[in-house]
Structure 1
Amino acid sequence: MDNIYAIIPVSKFKNAKTRLSPFLSEEEREKLLKVMLQDVTDTLKKHVDKIFIISRDEDVLKYAKSLNLDTILENKDSNLNKALKQAMKECKGKVRKVIIVPSDVPLIGKTNISILIEASKNLDFIIVPSKGGGTNMIIMKPMAIPTKFEGFSYREHVNVAERKKLNPQVHDSFFMALDVNTAQDLGEIMIHGEHTHTRKYLKELKVKVEPYRGTERLKVTRG
């Protein structure tokens, strides 16, 4: 039995990250999703036995295969949590733990993933919160809890894990908390994302960031 598999759910490339329009065009947003996924999987490949990409989008699955990743075609009439259940069923009996991560956390390499994975050998449930009350990582046995992604999922996941007596351990990471949804998030990538595919791509798009004392902390523009 392998030690740990990664599960990354990925929505359709087309029409994704609409909160970034009109700052980025549809084509640019699609490329952004691809380079972020590459950053996430490049990091995880160093630490896990296998990476599963689950999606209903054939373009996503084709791209994942080009990165030499395992793929699962998401069932019809599914949603995020059903897709994760489907993927965990695929993993159950083959692996001790799964690490569930979104595809839009390009600074994952700045977090010491190896320490978390090593700790997971002796801990039942590790969770990393995201900005705004969401969840950006769970490490647990396959099917240990039903996932509750969407909305304020961090607290829901902790509550479910406590009811299951899994003693949830929280790892607070600035870098893992940063999932990309807004131009401000892109600014953080420009500041902190050296050596990532995502920052390299944003530089190609001439994205620039400056400190700002207005309603936002950063002024993010395109040159």
Structure 2
Amino acid sequence: MKKTFAIIPVSRFTHAKTRLSPTLTPLQRENLLKSMLKDVTNALRNLVENIVVISSDEDVLNYVKNLEVIPIKEEGSTDLNGALKQAIKWCSSQADQVLIIPSDVPLIRPEYVAEMLKLGEKNDMVIAPAKGGGTNAMLCPVNGMEMLFGDCSFFEHIKIAESKNLMVKVYDSFYMALDVNTAEDLGEIMLHGSGTEAQKFLSKEGLVVVPIHGKERLQIERREINP
């Protein structure tokens, strides 16, 4: 059986989900990211050998120490893919493959992780697309796979894998496809995230979903919370 480490890259708390600034305050955005981090680590725990969090933010690294993960300090000034290369290199002496999961996939569940790992027994790479064409999960060998996370990275990762003659399996899931960038994404958490830390946090903040008939399918409103 292949030995698997999970890698979660995390940006600075102060940079958390800036596109949500019309809906959430900076502190709320930070706490939302912390809640989603808990959801991701909870889904991974007991299914992989170790969970690694890489970040350049000391606040992030200190926070995740309580989540039973291995914190790794990102070295130098690099981008997401550079940070992932550092984390994969760290894992390569101890694992056969890595499962890369962004920190903002709150609808992830242990059964989805288990299914991806099972598919990985017969395939070199298993990849879950994001709804916008990005990559929301990728199981791949520790050697030989290029990191291309970003816009339309799902297609770029498949292209690279096929050029290296890797056997690729697509794990297509509505729930795994959600990464959180807009107010409408928050609505998806409220509708589909029963039991998640992210949904609990948003409910605590008084956010509710209001169906609308317009450009966006969902609208988020804030309700007064009784003390």
Match of 1:153 in 2: 153
DSSP 3-state at the match of 1:108: coil
DSSP 3-state at the match of 1:133: coil
Match of 1:198 in 2: 198
Q: Take 1:115 and 1:128, find their aligned partners in 2: how far apart are those partners?
A: 11
Q: Which runs of 5+ in 2 are unaligned?
A: none
1:117 equivalenced with 2:117 (yes/no): yes
Match of 1:132 in 2: 132
Q: Take 1:115 and 1:109, find their aligned partners in 2: how far apart are those partners?
A: 10
Q: Take 2:185 and 2:138, find their aligned partners in 1: how far apart are those partners?
A: 22
TM-superposed deviation, 1:169? 1.0
For residue 153 of structure 2, what is the amino acid of its counterpart?
S
Deviations 1:24-69 (A, max 9, x none): 0000000000000000001100311100000000000001112121
1:21 equivalenced with 2:21 (yes/no): yes
Q: Take 2:159 and 2:166, find their aligned partners in 1: how far apart are those partners?
A: 10
With normalisation by structure 2, the TM-score equals 0.95
Match of 2:99 in 1: 99
Q: Take 2:30 and 2:116, find their aligned partners in 1: how far apart are those partners?
A: 30
Q: Take 2:154 and 2:68, find their aligned partners in 1: how far apart are those partners?
A: 31
Change (3 A) 1:86 1:110: closer
Match of 2:10 in 1: 10
Q: Take 2:42 and 2:3, find their aligned partners in 1: how far apart are those partners?
A: 18
| Bigger Cα displacement from structure 2, 176-185 vs 2-11 | 2-11
1:72 equivalenced with 2:72 (yes/no): yes
Aligned length: 223
Q: Is the 8 A contact 1:5 1:97 kept in 2?
A: yes
TM-superposed deviation, 1:111? 5.3
Q: Take 1:97 and 1:86, find their aligned partners in 2: how far apart are those partners?
A: 14
Q: Which runs of 5+ in 1 are unaligned?
A: none
Q: Percent identity?
A: 48
Q: Take 2:202 and 2:81, find their aligned partners in 1: how far apart are those partners?
A: 31
Q: Take 2:72 and 2:207, find their aligned partners in 1: how far apart are those partners?
A: 34
DSSP 3-state at the match of 2:128: strand
| Bigger Cα displacement from structure 2, 114-123 vs 181-190 | 114-123
DSSP 3-state at the match of 2:7: strand
TM-superposed deviation, 1:2? 6.7
TM-superposed deviation, 1:166? 0.4
Deviations 1:96-124 (A, max 9, x none): 21100000001001752212112212210
Match of 2:162 in 1: 162
DSSP 3-state at the match of 2:96: strand
Q: Take 1:126 and 1:61, find their aligned partners in 2: how far apart are those partners?
A: 28
Q: Take 1:68 and 1:46, find their aligned partners in 2: how far apart are those partners?
A: 11
Q: Is the 8 A contact 1:85 1:143 kept in 2?
A: no
TM-superposed deviation, 1:143? 2.9
